[in-house]
Structure 1
Amino acid sequence: MATRLTVQPEFREKATLIERSSDIRRNAWIAVFAVSALFWTVVGLTVWHLWG
């Protein structure tokens, strides 16, 4: 059994492209790393407090 995929030619015009600036992307990565660092700092301090 063969599967056939077709794409409508007007699909490209109907699609809405959202362009994100590199500034927003950079700020998102900074936020991800900041939250990750804060999380691991809290985990480390909690372990240190419990085992210290």
Structure 2
Amino acid sequence: MRHAFALSYLRKIGDLLSLQRIMGHTDLAITKRYVAYTLGDIKNSMLRSHW
């Protein structure tokens, strides 16, 4: 459940530091364990960041 929430949160909002706080992790490396971006996720993120 936590993995699904983490990935969904990042897909919609894309803020890893906020996710870290929400999940209560003190180390960002722990938060990264919950997120497994696919190539499609990375591509969509790149498209959103360009104007």
Same fold (TM over 0.5): no
| TM-score of the two chains, using structure 1 as the length reference | 0.26
Q: Larger helix proportion, structure 1 or 2?
A: 2
| TM-score of the two chains, using structure 2 as the length reference | 0.27
Higher CA-based Rg: 1
